[in-house]
Amino acid sequence: MSPARSTDDHWERWGREDPYYGVYAHDSMRRERLTADALDHFFASGQTHIEGVFAYVRRYIDPAFSPRRGLDFGCGTGRLVIPMAGLMDEVAGMDISSSMLDEARRNIDARDLHNVHLLKSDDALSQLSGSYDFIHSYIVFQHIPPERGQVLFQRLVKHLAPGGVGALHILFGKTFHAANFGQTPSSFHDRILAVKRGVHRLLMRLMGRKAATEPEMQMNIYDLNTLFFMLKTAGVGEIHTTFEDHGGEWSAFLFFRKP
């Protein structure tokens, strides 16, 4: 199996073993520490996020923005699908992990939502049909190798209806590599990962324990020039961008309207 394809298996393991930590990597989200209060905060943060996205779109792109059909790509446990469902007639949540989708379904059913469809993702987005007025993805593409993610990005744009709005979040640089303008030097990621695994195995042996192999969580950088070219090719005339810094991981949240 290629390294790019193995990320699907890692994400399925996150969904099966520790789904909320896989979505939001904070110790309070670990399965063994997860509390009702932590879950309430988790879902409240999703509500705040979607409200902020809609406010931004209405301020800078379309004051009358009121989509009827939306998609959250990389929906995980449903943190953002749930508030989207309260704002649209129909919402689809798509994820590569069947276990994540199972958890999302439990959360959706617990809230008695009937306008949400959950779809299994693949590189062809084969379960997507028709077009969407709003396509959203947040802290997702960074976990997908760019050679696959760029194709998915382009296909998502194709599923955006004329006049529809896209809100897609992309990691573009790391302050750790400031001398290289934020770009990861060739093979650096593989070397660091090998060192981390070796140190972990050594510590486990010293403690007399078998080394546990936690799923990997990649943080992949994308070339914004490539994505801008795709958007321009699709006829997009303007892109509105907000920058975010997650512990030295620099990202751009791209907002655009398809003509």
Give per-residue pLDDT as tens, 84-95.
Answer: 999 999 999 999
Report pLDDT for 216.
81
Answer with the residue of higher pLDDT: 3 or 202: 202
Of 3-12, 17-26, 149-158, give the range with the top mean pLDDT: 149-158
Report pLDDT for 175.
75
Mean pLDDT value of segment 219-230: 97
Report pLDDT for 229.
98
Quickly count: other Cβ atoms within 10 Å of residue 128's Cβ.
20
Q: Please state, in angstroms and rounded to a whole number, the distance separating the CA atoms of residues 44 and 51.
A: 11
What are the residue ranges of helices labelled H in the chain? 3-17, 19-23, 36-60, 81-85, 98-110, 146-158, 188-206, 224-233
Q: What is the pTM of this model?
A: 0.85
Residue 234 DSSP SS3? coil
User: What are the tens digits of pLDDT across the range 132-159?
Assistant: 999 999 999 999 999 999 999 999 999 9
pLDDT at 1 over 50: no
pLDDT at 161 over 80: yes
Supply 173's token pair. 């640089």
pLDDT at 210 over 50: no
Residue 77 DSSP SS3? coil
Q: Which domains does the chain have, with CATH numbers?
A: 3-257 (3.40.50.150)
pLDDT at 16 over 60: yes
Nearest to 69 by CA among 90, 94, 93, 92: 90
Mean pLDDT value of segment 202-231: 77
Radius of gyration of the CA atoms of the chain, in A: 19
Q: Please state, in angstroms and rounded to a whole number, the distance separating the CA atoms of residues 67 and 165.
A: 9
User: What are the tens digits of pLDDT across the range 247-259?
Assistant: 899 999 999 999 9
Q: Are 22 and 100 in contact, with CB atoms under 8 Å apart?
A: yes
With tokens 């276990």, the residue in question is 99
User: What are the tens digits of pLDDT across the range 65-85?
Assistant: 999 999 999 999 999 999 999
Nearest to 216 by CA among 74, 5, 45, 31: 5
Tell me the torsion sign for CA atoms 72, 31, 194, 178.
positive
